Amino acid sequence: MQELQQAGSDPAPLPPEHDRATPPDRRPTRVRALRAGLHTAVVLCLVTTLVHVVMVFLHVAPSNPVSKRYSPQVNGWVYPLFEQNWRLFAPDPDSFNRKVLARTAQTASDGSVRVSPWFDLAAADNAAVDHNAFPSHTAQNLLRRAWSSYAETHGGIDAARSERAVMMQKYLRNIAADRFAARHGGDTFDFIQLRVVTTPIAAPGTAAGSRPPEPTENRLLPWWKVTPHGK
């Protein structure tokens, strides 16, 4: 009986080490670091979204003391990727059809220059939009807005007279070079040139067999230097 009593009074054996519950305050450091990084990323996304909404609103809203005071910051954020061609509640659609043609030139090792035929960049965008229920923003507006911004900052000449004009020139050049290279199997070239033909939209009710409207502008831009890879 004494032996049984002594055996019953012994402490219960401890569970194996892996069966013990880990206290909440002893979670692995890596888990805490991942959660902290996730929280930081969420906060940064929210702050960036808020800043973007405020900047775009100041850009499209009527002129006011706040937009005038912070105009350099607003323009630096919006141009050229987030540019808007409308004012709040007042859209301004195009009333012209524009062909944006591009051709390239490459200098051979013997000094000769090979010039490519003209390629209609705008027609390629229009083909991507036609019969497409969900056309991309780049196909609809990227090239069109790049040209209108270039014409706005340069006027009737092709000499950049401001930092924004220089930026829009590079922006248009890069878009044209990327579009041309993508459509021609990544061909390399040293120069690119644009030609823009502007034609007014025919009036409603115009007969289909009538003579198409004459171009109002046929503008040939100078040759622009690009890298050998067309960038």
Mean pLDDT computed over 90-109: 81
17-21, 62-66, 124-128, 207-211: segment of lowest average pLDDT: 17-21
Measured CA to CA, the distance from residue 146 to residue 199 in angstroms comes to 18
Where is mean pLDDT largest: 67-81, 90-104, 169-183, 215-229? 169-183
Residues 62, 66, 70, 73: what is their CA dihedral angle, to the nearest 10 degrees?
-60
pLDDT band at 20 (very low <50, low <70, confident <90, very high): low
Where is mean pLDDT largest: 7-11, 93-97, 103-107, 182-186? 103-107
Tell me the CA distances in angstroms from 159 to 3, 44, 51, 100, one per residue in order. Answer: 107, 40, 34, 19
Q: What is the pLDDT of residue 64?
A: 84
3-state secondary structure of 157: coil
pLDDT higher than 90, residue 128 = no
Measured CA to CA, the distance from residue 134 to residue 136 in angstroms comes to 6
Tell me the CA distances in angstroms from 201 to 126, 198, 215, one per residue in order. Answer: 15, 10, 10
Measured CA to CA, the distance from residue 165 to residue 148 in angstroms comes to 12
Mean pLDDT computed over 109-129: 90
pLDDT band at 207 (very low <50, low <70, confident <90, very high): low
Tell me the CA distances in angstroms from 98 to 4, 41, 90, 181, 215, one per residue in order. Answer: 102, 43, 22, 21, 9
- Alpha helix positions (H), 155-202: 163-183
